[in-house]
Structure 1
Amino acid sequence: MRHCYVLFVIITFGFTFANVSCNSKKENKEELASEIQVEESFQRSNILIDSTAIISFYNTYPDLKKYQKETFSLYQNHNFNQVWFDDKGIVEFGNSLFSKYSNMDKEGLKVSFPYENIVEGIFNDDVENTLNQETTELMITNLYFFYADKVYNGLDTKVTTEIGWLLPRKQISYVSLLDSVMLNSKALLDNKKVLLPQYYKLRDVLVKYRNIEKKGGWNPIDLDPELKSYKPGDSAKAIGQIRERLFITGDIKNNNKSAIYDKELVEAVNHYQIRNGYKSDNLILPKHIKEMNEPIGERIKQIMVNMERCRWISPEITSSPEYVLVNIPSYNLTFIRDGKVLLKSPVVVGKTMNKTVIFSGKMSYIVFSPYWNIPTSIIKKEVKPGMAKNKDYLAQHNMEWNNGNVRQKPGKNNSLGLVKFIFPNSNNIYLHDTPSKSFFEKESRAFSHGCVRVGKARDLAITILKDDKNWTTAKIDAAMNSGKEKTYVLKNKIPVYIGYFTAWVDDEGKLNFFQDIYERDDRLAKLIFSDN
């Protein structure tokens, strides 16, 4: 029985936290080493725990009942041996766990264990532990499940679905995770295969911004109600305040306290504008100053909210050979292949009344010179009223009736442009080209009916089909401009993820803030900061 369990854990550990090759002698040796480690870790305690004690525990501590199933699973896997004690007392990892719990604010969380005072008695020498060893064991187990649940999982899936987050939630076994990290207590639960890499980047900048807050944050910048803009060469008290503000956040390296809008400050302002989703044009506008005046506490909250969103996504998405990411607030699309960014493109997303849905799909085919099958809602709100005013409305918009519906014929003025990228979904959302190129020059690009308009649609098609022998750039251009719809089924389906992040650390380590265009941050903040 014991041998079967060891084998089970090795298999689970191997599939979840490593890519084990059965044909590799080296990896076979590593597997054997892991088997020995796992076996030894289970032999640390021969103290049994009574299954009836587990039931009694949850009767006494009902606020932890949600972890009862995982607790039974854990001890069944360990043949009902205690896992947190050896002959010297509480194992090292138990103390590491308490240390991590005590610093959960560093994980962007404001939560408390339901029986925190009792846990304090277990680990704090200044507080008496009134529990027997069996109950102490179970309390530490539940502290672990509480920590893992809050840090690795976040809000319940039902809650995130209700607030419109339809990206698939990651699945993780906290029991298997505990077995793996106990083999290496130095990991301290910072397992990069459990959380999205972006999470750790945001956690690092959270430390930076909290340090800024401890030093007093930043002072408000005077905003003249008559101000239209500050241009290079201008002088004003507010310019000196702007310089100080940008020095605090690292947008400018030196603060010479000058009130003149000089070359060094121009570069700093441009840097600030770009990482806050603005156009870089050397001008300081009232909206930029209002943005700079956002309190440090609000920025910290924004970082924490986006750390929470990272908890919901499996880091496995980055292991796909190729995938497309769309971040709604940044109005940006990224195409990644073999871990390298091959294309970035501005996008237009749904306006407030027609929000682009947060979800994922598999791009299955590309349509060149597409028809636009106009949705019933648009026919009702726009087409029919237009037809009532103008009998030539359909002809002037290159539209036609088709089996009782209206569609727009292929061509350069088609609302879908010259190409669209389909990933079948119930939301009827897809990526597409557009003839309205001027929208991509705007800072705010929430204008669509819900689909995602791609600024570099041609480049995206070329990049996707680069290694497909059926296509060349010339053939793609011809298909896009043929005026005849042509559908091409992709040889490999490409994951497409449409997400919503208002704070994001890029590959250069630069923290970017974006406008909360759908006003989701405050609602999420209320949920996570009131969740205990």
Structure 2
Amino acid sequence: MKKVILTLLIGFTCALVAISCKDKDGKPTGDNIDNAFRFDSAKMDAFFSKYPDFKVYESEMKELYKKRDYHYVWFDKGGIVEFAESIFNQVNQIRSEGVAAQLPYKDQIDNLFYEDKHKKPDANDELLISAMYFFYAKNVYQGLDTKDSKETGWYLPREKVSYVAYLDTLMKDPKLLKKEGIEKIPLYYGLKKALYQYREIKGKGGWGKIEMDSAVKAFKPGDSSNTIAQVRKRLFISGDLKKNSESKVFDKELSREILAYKKRNNHNPDNLITPALVKDLNIPVEERIKTIIVNMERCRWLSPDLIKKGEYIAVNIPSFRAIYIKNGKLRLESNVVVGKELNETIVFSGKMSYLVFSPFWNVPPSIIKKEVKPGIEKDKDYLEKHDMEWNNGAVRQKPGPKNSLGLVKFMFPNSNNIYLHDTPSKGLFNKESRALSHGCVRVQKAKELAYAILEDDKNWNPKKIDEAMNGGKEMTYSLKKKIPVYIAYFTALVDDNGNVRFFEDVYNRDSRLADLLYKS
């Protein structure tokens, strides 16, 4: 009986000791720590001296191990843990994520997983795996830092993420490593599939070059030429045409697919084989791959939370298109005109807070200097002919059908003085390239956008909106609910059918971004 009591007391005492040796979060403290799975913090400085290419991750790695009291993350008594192998496998497939950067010290890291995975824990090996994790997280999830993205003209907000804290999330649910739609916007995953497809095409030799007689203005349905057969083959290789009959005759099937191709890629929507189309089709597959990669990088700069909101307006500069998402669904899509190269529309975000019907146009000082004053010098009636007037030393254009802002403008106050607006110059929307404005965004369906924005507002109906737009008197209306507006720059998109759509790099930003990616 005494032995039983003694055993119980010993057990109870040990339980108390065990409890007392944990902090309030349940982490081991004091003499109860298994020092076999812990290393001396001084070894971190030695590690970065030995592996200087990983010094970029020093602050985060020190934060990680300080948080864990310098316990091993990637080793247990059996060697390297399974989750470390998952990270290693993802790093070995990092090229599929459109990442050009090479993992430093890859041979040493390969040896850990291929030859020494069951070895006893070693601080140097432990830190190599941590550095590998941060390399993966920074390149696949974060991309270039904010300073670099701003250098490419990107001022949309970027979410700050702690990849130290995110490691805990991944370790609890390793499936997140491969799960789509969690860390990046849907476009990223569409481009990732396209990257695989275009690399397959490159591996098979690409799509060659189409030859077109310079004396031919265009081929039309019914014509016959070697050029037509080459166009057919090119569209088949890229997946735009389901089969290749190798025929030289311009038949209905080819005509239909050329029209679809032109519509997808912002060309004039006809079914002719023109020199412009041939020039576009002759862009090498290597260049298309580069375009896909730089746009995958831009996707990293956008948080999925931005587009999970039920209502927002998004403008994509290179495609000259705007969309209005309402209640999580596409409510309106419209062609737009954006700033020309000397007056680039800024990539940024704001919140639409009010509409102005029958607006005045306060002419910017730069336009007064370059256009209005020279016009007055040549013609004393210049202001009257353009429905303009002096106003406190400045010039403004009166409301009405001639007003450069059209009949309504959509305001989201910002330091760039950019907004969406109507325009009387409707013919501009028929142009293939629409980088033509002084920086603001002209909306083809401006009236329809006003209808859509105000359709749930009891104060308005289409008739009242039309009256306000054509009233000839400026009127401002504050929205009851502000609408997020995003102005972005993507030269490649993917449609619902998985087709890649390529657009003109109107501000020549792709090559600059590519240079940053391939140097990183």
TM-score (norm 2): 0.91
The answer to whether 1:58 aligns with 2:48 is: yes
Write the distance in 1 (CA, Å) between the matches of 2:341 and 2:114: 51
From 59, 62, 78, give the equivalent of 2:68. 78
Change over 3 Å in CA distance of 1:149–1:384 after alignment to 2? same
Q: Letter of the aligned partner of 1:203 in structure 2?
A: K
SS in 1 for 2:42: helix
Shift of 1:128: 10
**Amino acid in the other structure paired with 1:454:** V
Runs of 5+ consecutive residues of structure 2 not aligned to the other structure: 1-20, 28-32
- Give 1:324-363 correspondences, 5 Å limit: 324-363=313-352
Q: Which shows bigger deviation, 97-106 or 62-71?
A: 62-71
Residue in structure 1 matched with residue 133 of structure 2 by the alignment: 144
Distance 1:492 1:44 in 2: 57
Partner of 1:29: none
Counterparts in 2 of 1:15-414, with a 5 A limit? 47-125=37-115, 133-188=122-177, 190=179, 192-414=181-403
Q: Distance in 2 between matches of 1:285 and 1:357?
A: 33
Of the structure 1 ranges 163-172 and 430-439, higher mean CA displacement relative to structure 2 is found in: 163-172
Residue 75 (structure 1) shift: 2.2
Cα-to-partner distance string for 1:298-345 (whole Å, 9 max, x where unaligned): 111110011111111111101222111100000000011222110000
Partner SS for 1:492: strand
> In structure 2, what is the equivalent of residue 487 of structure 1?
476
Query: SS at 1:51's partner residue?
Result: coil
Q: Secondary structure, in 3 states, of the residue corresponding to 2:376?
A: helix
SS of residue paired to 1:95? helix
Structure 2 residue aligned with 1:511: 500
Specify the structure having the higher radius of gyration (Cα).
2
The whole-number CA distance in structure 2 between the counterparts of 1:305 and 1:397 is 43
> What secondary structure, in the 3-state scheme, does the structure 2 residue paired with 1:425 have?
coil
Greater Cα shift, 447-456 or 191-200: 191-200
Are 1:425 and 2:414 matched, yes or no?
yes
* Residue number among 442, 453, 456 corresponding to 1:464 in the alignment: 453
TM-score, normalization: structure 1? 0.89
Tell whether the 8 Å contact from 1:46 to 1:82 is kept in structure 2 after alignment. no
Higher mean C-alpha deviation, range 425-434 or range 267-276: 267-276
Aligned mates of 2:411, 2:459 — CA distance in 1: 19
Amino acid at match of 1:258: S
Mapped to 2, the partners of 1:297 and 1:196 lie a distance apart of 24
Counterpart of 2:509 in structure 1 is 520
- How many aligned positions are there? 495
- Report the Cα distance in structure 2 between the residues aligned to 1:395 and 1:406, rounded to whole angstroms: 12
Separation in structure 1 between the aligned mates of residue 383 and residue 348 of structure 2, nearest angstrom = 34
- In 2, Cα distance between the equivalents of 1:191 and 1:85? 28
Given candidates 464, 483, 493, the residue that maps to 1:475 is: 464
**How far does residue 134 in structure 1 lie from its aligned partner after superposition?**
1.4
CA distance in 2, matches of 1:355, 1:248: 36
1:225 alignment partner, SS class:
coil
Does the CA-based 8 Å contact 1:302-1:521 persist in structure 2?
yes
Judge which range, 338-347 or 153-162, deviates more: 153-162
Question: Does structure 2 conserve the Cα–Cα contact (< 8 Å) formed by 1:45 and 1:83?
Answer: no
Amino acid at match of 1:227: V
Shift of residue 50, structure 1, vs aligned partner: 2.6
Matched, 1:500 2:489: yes
Shift of residue 2, structure 1, vs aligned partner? 6.2
2:190 partner amino acid: K
The offset of 1:82, in angstroms, is 1.2
Distance 1:312-1:3 versus aligned 2 partners, 3 A rule: farther
Q: Would you say the 8 A contact 2:37–2:121 is kept in 1? A: no
Code of the aligned partner of 2:138: D
Indicate conservation of the 8 Å contact 1:153/1:311, yes or no.
yes
Seen in structure 2, the aligned counterparts of structure 1 residues 6 and 177 have a Cα distance that, compared at 3 Å, is: farther
Gaps of 5+ in 1: 8-42
- How far is the alpha carbon of 1:158 from its aligned partner? 0.9
Query: Contact (CA 8 Å) 1:365, 1:423: kept in 2 or not?
Result: yes
Letter in 1 for 2:40: D
Once the 2 structures are TM-superposed, how far is the Cα of residue 61 of structure 1 from its aligned partner?
A: 2.2
The answer to whether the 8 Å contact 1:44/1:85 transfers is no
